[in-house]
Structure 1
Amino acid sequence: MCGIVGVVSSGPVNQLIYDALLLLQHRGQDAAGIVTQQERKFFMHKAKGMVRDVFRTRNMRALPGSVGLGQVRYPTAGNADSEEEAQPFYVNAPFGIVLVHNGNLTNADVLKAELFSTDHRHINTESDSEVLLNVFAHELDRSTRGAQLHPDDVFAAVSAVHRRVRGSYAVIALIAGHGVLAFRDPFGIRPLSIGRGQDGTLMLASESVALEGTGHVFERSVAPGEAVFIALDGTLHARQCAEQPRLNPCIFEYVYLARPDSVLDGVSVYQARLNLGETLAKRVISTVPPNEIDVIIPIPESSRPSATQLAHLLGVPYREGFVKNRYVGRTFIMPGQGVRKKSVRQKLNVITSEFKGRNVLLVDDSIVRGTTSREIVQMARDAGAKKVYLASAAPPVRFPNVYGIDMPTPGELVAHGRTVEEVRQIIGCDALIYQDVEAMKRAIGSLNPALDGFDASCFDGVYVTGDIDPEDIARINQARIGQEDPLAQDSSRLALPNAQEA
């Protein structure tokens, strides 16, 4: 999961890209990078860390030009410790190309072998984004055949990429001296939007919030399989480059990943979470009578809309019982279980008066590993709660994600191979209520009839690209960040970058 942005303007773009990356910071906090172009020369700065730490005044001054792109990275494969794997990536031929990528290629190993043996291109990192860049560069070289670049050549290259590449990819690339290209995979798994400023500036970004937050008017989402090429003079060309595109966005974007003030593929993320609260209410009523619940408390932050709607429909008071400390490091980078428990308690502080002597229903957006949920339930008990119920606005996470979210291996998922009752016992709550998979799809899908469906693979095990089997999952998980210590990584909702912190 990453956040990407590209800009074509008539004025300097360094500050504009920086501001957009701040608005996308929730999509990646491990590394950040910006590249700009002036007179066909690229100027780049990238490093590990958050946007505000990576870019200082001297770095911004060294990024001149009226066109550029940027990325914030949350690694799921490759080497997270390598500065070289921060994006953008660069190749000098043809023309000179820099690229940023959000997603995960499921056939990266095959492509890497093809690039070496057939295309005669060298890959210098473990990043699938460098693989994707070189595949595109090779296909662009083939389509131009040494001639001048035209939009038709760019679209032909993207069509060839779609035929070769599998997995999820939202891409923005800058071709030196020509313009900015953006395209999505044929299933539209990862989001990408386009907007326009009053001065004619065109911006592409992972989420609409980055457009609107920088003064641009959101125009539309880039369609699955579509390529958009913006020439340096601002002329926009667009073409469908996939043979059978289908709009199947990742449903976890709406559950957790995206900011609530974004609109993705015609769906308000905030409204989607309200709808999840509405359908969750039916599940709660069938498990715990509302008169046995004294108060409903969200686990900050993404669960708040669902918890608010749930409380309204059940007629139960909504209260804030946890205060989040935004200045504590992410839980999953801690070296072991004991330290992680301490970090959860550092991240969340309990308002004791909201728990003492009450039957409390906690609402979370999702439950992944379960370690954080177990600790939070214990915190509620320590604060004096009589009973602690836990409701998840998402269904049980039973399967790994292979499309760019760092979900653990199957054995690390608390719901994998277990019944709800077995998960309840592990977490230690008095009742555990999960969202229903089909109800979740209906609740979100009803907001845009044009949706063909969702990638909900972490919930239902159906991988929309149709090329994933257990051996593929095992192989992909071998490349997952953090394999060396299964206790050192917590991929629950507190561990992932939080949408409200951007």
Structure 2
Amino acid sequence: MCGVIGIYSQNDVSKKLFYGLNSLQHRGQEASGICVFNGKDMILDKDMGLVYDNFDEESFLKLKGNVGIGHVRYATAGGSYKYNSQPLLAFSKNREFALAHNGNLVNHQSIRDELEDEGMLFQTAIDTEVILSLVAKYYKGDIVEAVKKTMARIKGAYSVVMLFEDKLIAFRDPNGFRPLLIGRAKNGEVIIASENAPLEIIGTDAIRNVEPSEIIVVDKDGIHSDYFEKDEKKHCIFEYVYFARTDATLDGVNSYNFRRRCGEILSREAPIEADLVIAVPDSGTPAAMGYAQESGIPFAEGLVKNRYMGRTFIKPTAEERELSVKLKLNPLETVLKGKKIILVDDSIVRGTTSKNLIKRMKKAGAKEVHMRIVSPPVKFPCYYGIDTPSRQKLIAANYSVEEMRKKIGADSLAFISMEGMLNATLMKENKFCEACFNGTYAVEPKELVQDEK
């Protein structure tokens, strides 16, 4: 996962990009960057680390421009190095191209091999550079045609914002795996971002989704929309389970309401007698509230969160994730001691967090800990932008629910059903990608599966 943002305005956009990236920080914490067009040149500033650490007043003096893009990175393709941070800036055919990408291509390596055979050099190890290289290669005077030809080659998940001359461009893959929204203010300012929070915080009036396969160009003449070939919509349902902010409304589904309804449904599907319902904050909190309200069991805060910690699932190594859990969440002994607890979380991916928390909660005096998960078991890798590259790392792919219960040390363990989770979206049609739960891939990841073997 990553977060992208693009702004087109009559005024300087650097600080608005900065504030917008801050509201997307939950989508990636490894690196952040901003690129603006100042009327003559593109200016790029990026580094490893959080947005607030990478930019200051001196940065904004350099980043002057009325159109720009930004990115927060969570690595799925390529290692955690500065040269893999985004946006990417390239020079070709006496033009400057800058691009930021959320998602993951399933055929980037074969395209990269082809381009390298043609003599093209690459400066990064990420799939995003393949997109940028193809756009530059196919540009013959019409940037929309170059994007269309690029979209005809690349397969997988991509929500992209791009700078070309004085234009802001955005395009989204035909399945719409990853979110992308566009908003316009009364003064004509246009903001495109991965979630609605930046658009609402910075200030826009009309907000809509960038449609799957849609290509948007924003310039001095306004907003222009075109389309590549359409496909079956398959928005990632794990966005609502975990990645999206609680206030995000993506493709018609609000994250908070979805998570709360999942908790209510799971309470009916997997009831248990207990004294308290406890959430694993923050993404598990709405679900725990829903479970508590539906079951009539009191909701309480039993895990104290360090608000200065990032998200543990997206830490690169197992050791970092385990240490981060300890630093991030501390059991509250006065609440837990002698109580039977229902612990509600959004998902179990590797099992590290759950095992650690249950062990520490029992050490703090919890009599029983019953784990309830508001997503089905994650059994298959995601090839579209979530860092689960092999089934060996997925606990549910290798163990039964009862075996998982024993491994994490829970007194009982239950997951919401697929039907229950889909019902929580309130959507009449199933237009979601559920590949991480059922192994049905909308775009076959043959190249990446081969790499895994």
Aligned to 1:494: none
CA drift of 1:74 comes to 0.7
Distance 2:156 2:317 in 1: 31
3-state SS in 2 of match to 1:72 = strand
Which one of the candidate residues 419, 435, 438 is aligned to 1:457?
435
1:85-484 alignment to 2 at 5 Å?
85-94=84-93, 95-118=95-118, 120-141=119-140, 144=141, 153-177=142-166, 179-231=167-219, 233-242=220-229, 244-285=230-271, 288=272, 292-328=273-309, 337=319, 341-444=322-425, 446-447=426-427, 449=428, 453-465=431-443, 467-469=444-446, 472-473=448-449, 475=451
Contact 1:9 1:234 in 2 (8 A): no
Distance change >3 Å, CA 133–CA 374, structure 1 → 2: same
Distance change >3 Å, CA 100–CA 437, structure 1 → 2: same
3-state SS in 1 of match to 2:36 = strand
Aligned to 1:45: 45
Aligned to 2:77: 77
Distance 1:420 1:356 in 2: 27
3-state SS in 1 of match to 2:385 = coil
Distance 1:105 1:334 in 2: 20
3-state SS in 2 of match to 1:15 = helix
Distance 1:341 1:221 in 2: 36
Distance change >3 Å, CA 367–CA 103, structure 1 → 2: same
Letter in structure 2 aligned against 1:132: I
CA drift of 1:333 comes to 5.4
Letter in structure 2 aligned against 1:464: A
Distance 2:64 2:221 in 1: 18
Distance change >3 Å, CA 193–CA 329, structure 1 → 2: closer
Contact 2:106 2:155 in 1 (8 A): yes
CA drift of 1:247 comes to 1.9
Distance 1:116 1:334 in 2: 29
- Whose relative contact order is higher, 1 or 2, with alpha carbons under 8 Å and at least 6 apart? 1
Contact 2:29 2:310 in 1 (8 A): no
Distance change >3 Å, CA 346–CA 91, structure 1 → 2: closer
3-state SS in 2 of match to 1:61 = helix
Contact 2:260 2:286 in 1 (8 A): yes
Distance 1:343 1:37 in 2: 38
Distance change >3 Å, CA 7–CA 384, structure 1 → 2: same
CA drift of 1:162 comes to 2.1
Distance change >3 Å, CA 301–CA 42, structure 1 → 2: same
Deviations 1:127-154 (A, max 9, x none): 110111111221223xx3xxxxxxxx33
Letter in structure 2 aligned against 1:282: R
CA drift of 1:412 comes to 1.4
Contact 1:7 1:203 in 2 (8 A): yes
Letter in structure 1 aligned against 2:438: D
Distance 2:322 2:225 in 1: 50
Sequence identity, in percent? Answer: 39
CA drift of 1:344 comes to 2.5
Distance change >3 Å, CA 336–CA 74, structure 1 → 2: closer
Distance 1:100 1:225 in 2: 17
Contact 2:348 2:377 in 1 (8 A): yes
Once superposed, what is the RMSD of the aligned Cα atoms?
A: 1.9
Distance 2:405 2:8 in 1: 51
CA drift of 1:384 comes to 1.4
3-state SS in 2 of match to 1:426 = helix
Letter in structure 1 aligned against 2:71: Q
Contact 1:251 1:456 in 2 (8 A): yes
3-state SS in 1 of match to 2:124 = coil
Contact 1:246 1:452 in 2 (8 A): no
Distance 2:331 2:44 in 1: 44
Segments of 5+ residues of structure 2 without an aligned counterpart are none
Letter in structure 1 aligned against 2:372: A
3-state SS in 2 of match to 1:174 = strand
CA drift of 1:341 comes to 4.5
Letter in structure 1 aligned against 2:448: D
Distance 1:10 1:280 in 2: 49
Distance 1:333 1:64 in 2: 33
Letter in structure 2 aligned against 1:5: I
3-state SS in 2 of match to 1:213 = helix
Distance 2:324 2:194 in 1: 30
Deviations 1:176-221 (A, max 9, x none): 14x1110000000010000112321001000011100111224200
CA drift of 1:281 comes to 1.6
3-state SS in 2 of match to 1:462 = coil
Letter in structure 1 aligned against 2:122: I
CA drift of 1:452 comes to 5.1
Contact 2:107 2:445 in 1 (8 A): no
CA drift of 1:156 comes to 2.2
Letter in structure 2 aligned against 1:88: P
Aligned pair count reads 451
1:487-498 alignment to 2 at 5 Å?
none
Aligned to 1:28: 28
